[in-house]
Amino acid sequence: MRDFPIRISALSMMLGLSLFSVEIQATEDLSAYTTSNEDLVSAESSTVTYGLDFIEQQSGLVSVADLILRIPGGAALLNQNRNHQRGFSNGNDRILINGRRLSGKQNDSRSALEQLSVAQVERVEVIRGSSPDIKVSSQDSMVNVVLLEDAGGSGAWSAGMFLGTGGDASPRGTVSYGSKRGIMDYTLAAEYNSVDLRDQFDTLFTDGDDTPTKRLEETRSWNEKVRELRGGLSFNFDNGDQLNINGLYNDDEMTQPRPGSFLLADASGALTIPGFTERRRDRSLSKWELGGDYGTTLTDDWNFKVLGLYTEEQVDDVSSADAEILADEYEEDFLSLSDEFSSEAITRGSVVWQKHSNHRLEFGTEVALNKQVVGFQYFERIDGVLVEQDVDSSDVTIKEIRDESFAIHSWQISDELSLDSSLVFEYSKISQTGGITKSRTFKFLKPSWDLRYNLSPDDQLQFSVRREVSQLNFGAFASSVNEENDVTGGNSNLEPEKAWTMEASYEHRLADDNGSIKPTLLYQRFTDNLQPIETSPGVSGIGNGGTGTRFQIQLEGAIRLFFIGIPNIQLSADLKWQETKATDAFTGESIPFDGEGIGFGGRVEVRHDIPDHGLSWGLTNWINRSTEFRDFDELRISHVAGQSWTTVFVEKQFLGNVVAKFEIENLLDEDWSRERNLYAAGRAGGILTSRELRDARWSRRFEFSLRGTF
């Protein structure tokens, strides 16, 4: 890690850049989405509000996240995929606090809600429509948490234990506090998390004729400790300006020993010859970030906002394996050492013009400076001695400067119809040194259109078309080693993946806030599809294939079971069927995307709150989908289609504001299977040399916690 003075200098440089740019913000709050002004999207058609009356009817509330879970569709908002791509504009955060997204990356809004006391909340708004703080083409609902102006000081705490089958009990705990002093609001939070797990692997090895050659039974241990500090400051000035500052520090240590015993085939072919083996992995990770934003009203028609962020991350990873332990002495057959440093400095700003009530125009730019330094060493034991191997792209430094300039127009065509359109110009220059020295420049235009039509206050049709360009994973520029102890080659010729995305959805809200149902169709066509290719003779890495397509049918919904007379039971689901097609870079055949789910899967959840008794219980069932992965000389298939990961919990409020919770993960004790086929001279040759059939049994996990407020 760098020392503190250098960090301050880098941060000062980032903030200096902000003088030359400007961010997107139409208004300083979400009044445009809660006002009764007929010229704007009306509250009736775009927002559902949960005020103090709703909050006071609930029990067992400690954090704001507890409150959102009791709102139809709230679980889907909290379970959204976190997007930590480079830059602010690529974020998909759908949670706002006082009308703003948190100007952070790792320090995101979901985590802030989990550590924000519910005593500070005035109301929660679920918004269906566009927002100045969310990308224009989003078709998803958002939640805005509005805090009380005079809430005073309040805090939340939790303490608990986590236990996995075969592991040791691991402590966990958090404490947070927030208060107001004059024009300043502040929040502080500390968290400690630990986990100790034991999962069982049973692998049968066969030759090309399916004759058994080895059986290996392993225990994969996973021990991790995470310490985290968060903080935030907000200054609300008398003239309406606001300054927000937030920071985070995270330290993560993980060890993964995998001891095992095996049986080898004897001369007769029977598996009788015993032995022992072990794999080891140790990883340490530390990261910190500091972000902030400042907003002001320039005139009645013009607003201005600027955001800034600087973040650093350091990862050190050591992996090794002894395929046959002799004389009880661990002796590495291979040793992999990698260290990775990355940093990001972003400034983003915009001005917004809104003179006419049915038109809003915003424009601005985002500048990001990114750096990643990867060092990799790989050793193999030869004649009893570890010998370092020559690996292409083993030490790489990548630097990127990226600018995204944008113009966004929001047009309220009528009371029922609105259109958001945008045009983004992306410019980036990526330079690479270390082994290979080269520099490349990319330029892309990314238009998007999002049309919404309100058939009624409870029914909305949405159509969108957008051009998307992926961000390159800098880690793919450098070589690494995978779980199978194979070297993955670095690729300095990667191009971003491009796609045209078309999406259509229909959302229906049930009467009396009893939930909503939303089916969605999505089609994407890709060029420069990212997939494994041969980066050097016999070595694979990520590269660009040809074209690819993705087709999805998704059904999201959350319904209170009012029709059977139990409105406090909420049933929610997020189900998806997907088909993807790409061209295999090695064989030319049509294949699904590597690592993506095939067919049907998703989440079904039941939650029952009984406020009169301070009791809640729930069940979540994740339905898995099979995946496939292809490499130069191997095919891996995970056979988990239709299997589920089930979690149940029960919690009870007592002693006023203390909540006890007991949770079980992997209730059904599901297992997982994988088939790995290896081919001589590559898969294109079609000569199978060996096969691995693995059955894995995940441990059942138990957690008990106490939570409260002060």
pLDDT-based confidence at 488, cuts 50/70/90?
confident
H-helix or E-strand spanning residue 310: strand 302-322
* Average pLDDT of the residues in 413-429: 93
Q: Which tops the pLDDT comparison, 248 or 436? A: 248
Percent of the chain surpassing pLDDT 70: 88
Q: Is the pLDDT of residue 157 over 60?
A: yes
3-state secondary structure of 283: strand
Please write the tens of the pLDDT for every residue from 441-470.
999 999 999 999 999 888 999 999 999 999
Cα 679 from Cα 690, distance rounded (Å): 7
User: Which has more confidence, 456 or 36?
Assistant: 456
Residue 369 above 50 pLDDT? Answer: yes
Every domain of the chain and the residues it spans: 4-315+332-709
Mean pLDDT of the 51-64 span:
86
> CATH topology for 4-315+332-709?
Maltoporin; Chain A (2.40.170)
Mean pLDDT of the residues in the chain: 85
- State the pLDDT at residue 37: 29
pLDDT at position 2 is 38
| Residue 125 pLDDT greater than 50, yes or no | yes
What average pLDDT does the segment 7-34 reach?
32
How many angstroms separate the CA atoms of 232 and 230, rounded?
Answer: 7
State the pLDDT confidence band at 62, using cuts at 50, 70 and 90.
Answer: confident
Residue 27: what are its φ and ψ, rounded to 5°?
-135, 165
Instruction: From residue 326, give the alpha-carbon distance in Å to each of 259, 260, 547, 706.
Output: 14, 13, 50, 48
Check residue 326 and give its pLDDT: 85
CA distance 624 to 670: 11
The pLDDT, as a whole number, for residue 300 is 83
* Region of 681 on the Ramachandran plot (φ > 0 left; ψ -120 to 50 alpha; else beta): left
pLDDT at 385: 92
pLDDT average, residue stretch 305-315 = 94
Which of these, 287, 294, 431, lies nearest to 369 by C-alpha position?
431
Mean pLDDT, residues 262-266 taken together? 94
| pLDDT given for residue 312 in this prediction | 96
User: Which residue matches tokens 């519910």?
Assistant: 118
Task: Give the lowest-confidence range in 167-176, 292-301, 477-486, 506-515.
Answer: 477-486
pLDDT at 344 over 60: yes
For the cut 50, the answer to whether the pLDDT of residue 149 exceeds it is: yes
Lowest mean pLDDT, pick from 42-51, 245-254, 607-616 = 42-51
Q: φ, ψ for residue 667 (rounded to 5)?
A: -55, -40
Across the range 382-410, mean pLDDT stands at: 90
Burial class of residue 383 in the structure, from the number of CB atoms within 10 Å of its CB (0-12 exposed, 13-18 middle, 19+ buried): exposed
Predicted local confidence at residue 41, as pLDDT: 33
Of the candidates 13, 8, 15, the residue with the CA atom closest to the CA atom of residue 308: 15
pLDDT tens-place string over residues 553-602: 999 999 988 777 787 899 999 999 999 999 998 888 999 998 888 889 99
Residue tagged 């775009």 (tokens): 46
Which tens digits make up the pLDDT trace of 231-247? 989 898 888 898 999 99
**pLDDT reported for residue 512:** 82
pLDDT at position 12, please?
A: 35
**Can you tell me the mean pLDDT for 51-60?**
86
Residues 406, 422: Cα–Cα separation, whole Å: 7
Kindly state the tokens that stand for 332.
């590495």
| Secondary structure (3-state) at 55 | helix
- The CA radius of gyration of the chain, in Å to the nearest whole number, is 27
pLDDT the model gives residue 10: 35
Q: State CA 686 to chain mean position distance.
A: 37
Reported as half-sphere exposure (CB side, CA atoms, 13 A), residue 228 has a value of: 26
Q: How would residue 387 be classed by pLDDT, with cut points 50, 70 and 90?
A: very high
Confidence bin at 642 (pLDDT 50/70/90): low
Task: Report how far residue 368's alpha carbon sits from residue 143's, in angstroms, rounded to the nearest whole number.
Answer: 28
Does residue 21 or residue 562 have the better pLDDT? Answer: 562
pLDDT band at residue 8 using 50, 70 and 90 as cut-offs: very low
Give the pLDDT of residue 306.
93
pLDDT at res. 130: 53
C-alpha distances in Å from residue 666, one per residue of 412, 602, 651, 670: 48, 16, 18, 7
Whole-prediction pTM: 0.83
Helix-then-strand count for the chain, H and E: 6, 37
**Residue with the larger pLDDT of the pair 685 and 364:** 364
Please choose, from the candidates 549, 459, 547, the residue with its C-alpha nearest in 3D space to the C-alpha of residue 506.
459
Residue 141 has pLDDT above 80, yes or no: no
Higher pLDDT, 379 or 670: 379
Q: What is the mean pLDDT of residues 130-146?
A: 58
Residue 391 has pLDDT above 50, yes or no: yes
The answer, yes or no, to whether residue 497 has pLDDT greater than 70, is yes
